[in-house]
Structure 1
Amino acid sequence: MQGAPGKRIAWLPTLVAKRQDTLRAGHLRFAREAPWSGVLHCFVLDCSGSMLGGQRLALAKGLLIALFDRAGASRAEAALVCFGGAGADLRFGPAVPRWWNERWLRPVGGGGGTPLASGVRQAAQVLELSARRKPAQQRWLWILTDGRSSDQPVRPRHADEVVFVDFERAAIRLGRCRTLADAWGAALFAPDELIA
């Protein structure tokens, strides 16, 4: 993603490159010069019972609204996959979220198990279809979860960048988001690191 400087800094790739370091010039990433190809942000939201504790699901929904607003402002496409209970389903997109707001997320409830692998499989299908339709499109996969799953899904082949947003807040942490992020070469953030 690093390359010849363009006119505009691409902040999300820059934050991924920066990780926990102090921001330096070497971390800067610049917007690609092929605006026709666009960007897809595929969000995978954990709606399991464990996300209901400590208002984690409510926090995730709030963060999701902010991320959808950013996608819409930059004319990027977005998709939303929700997983919980027995499976996963595509709730939105891929499309440019022109009228996205909290009314879309209010009916998304929580409960049941954490079928992370189902959520990742559903997202992989969205990303694969996007790769066929728009091969030059840059595809981001965002996984918002507390990691309370024993699933070990495989990194989707068509995800150019992956970001885990770790909502785990238990006194004894399992650290599964960090384990998966390390295995996938993905960025890992706490929710408050993305709210600005």
Structure 2
Amino acid sequence: MLPHDRLALAKGLIVAYFDHAARERVETALICFGGNGAARRFGPAVPRWWNARWLEPVDGGGGTPLADGIAAAANLLARDARRAPDKQHWLWVLSDGRTRETPAKPAAADHVVFVDFDDGAVRIGRGARLADAWGAQWVSADALCTDLAG
């Protein structure tokens, strides 16, 4: 996600989401996945403030370990579904889809939104295909930014 500042855009969208979650008091978790695998950076909890250190170590390039990120999210969602079975469990995936992996949709995810950062000279369309296979909502990062702006 390095070309065209897509990684910076993704980080900005995450900050905006955390601001919204704090205002609405929505329990949230953040799992980042990049060249070195996946790691939970926050939560699950209601965010009270934003900490830039959660995103500083996230790099782009070197391939997308999507399966690692989805597996970490699946474990977190399953644990929370056991704790709070009546709660809606949403999964937002922000990725350029530049991976050969095709992970399964996490069973405990009630609703999935795939925010697609694919903007290469040749769009590969993996994010849209994965969203379709999962029955997930697909949105381009640019469209989401336009919606948030106004």
Q: What displacement does 1:164 show?
A: 0.4
**Are 1:166 and 1:191, in contact at CA under 8 Å, matched by a contact in 2?**
yes
The amino acid that maps onto 1:93 is G
Q: Does 1:129 align with 2:74?
A: no
Moved more, 145-154 or 95-104: 95-104
Task: Give the aligned partner of residue 26 of structure 1.
Answer: none
Question: Which structure has greater helix proportion?
Answer: 2
Q: Secondary structure at the match of 2:115?
A: strand
Cα distance in 2 for residues equivalent to 1:140 and 1:160: 6
Task: Give the aligned partner of residue 174 of structure 1.
Answer: 124
- Point out the structure with max Rg over C-alpha: 1
**Are 1:65 and 1:101, in contact at CA under 8 Å, matched by a contact in 2?**
no
The amino acid that maps onto 2:34 is G
Runs of 4+ in 1 over 6 A off after TM superposition: none
Cα distance in 1 for residues equivalent to 2:99 and 2:106: 18
Cα distance in 2 for residues equivalent to 1:65 and 1:102: 9
**Are 1:86 and 1:112, in contact at CA under 8 Å, matched by a contact in 2?**
no
Identical residues among aligned pairs (%): 60
Q: Does 1:145 align with 2:95?
A: yes
Cα distance in 2 for residues equivalent to 1:163 and 1:136: 20
Task: Give the aligned partner of residue 17 of structure 2.
Answer: 67
Cα distance in 1 for residues equivalent to 2:36 and 2:59: 13
Structure 2 unaligned residues grouped into runs of 5+: none
Q: Does 1:79 align with 2:29?
A: yes
Superposition RMSD in Å: 1.4
Q: May I ask how many residue pairs the two structures share in their alignment?
A: 146
Judged with a 3 Å threshold, the aligned counterparts in structure 2 of structure 1 residues 191 and 100 are, in CA distance, closer, same or farther, namely same
Q: Secondary structure at the match of 1:180?
A: helix
Q: Does 1:113 align with 2:63?
A: yes
Task: Give the aligned partner of residue 89 of structure 1.
Answer: 39
Task: Give the aligned partner of residue 160 of structure 1.
Answer: 110
Q: What displacement does 1:80 show?
A: 0.7
Q: What displacement does 1:100 show?
A: 1.6
Structure 1 unaligned residues grouped into runs of 5+: 1-50
Q: What displacement does 1:101 show?
A: 4.7
The amino acid that maps onto 1:143 is V
Task: Give the aligned partner of residue 58 of structure 1.
Answer: 8
Judged with a 3 Å threshold, the aligned counterparts in structure 2 of structure 1 residues 108 and 87 are, in CA distance, closer, same or farther, namely closer
The match for 1:184 among 131, 134, 146 is 134
Q: Secondary structure at the match of 1:136?
A: coil
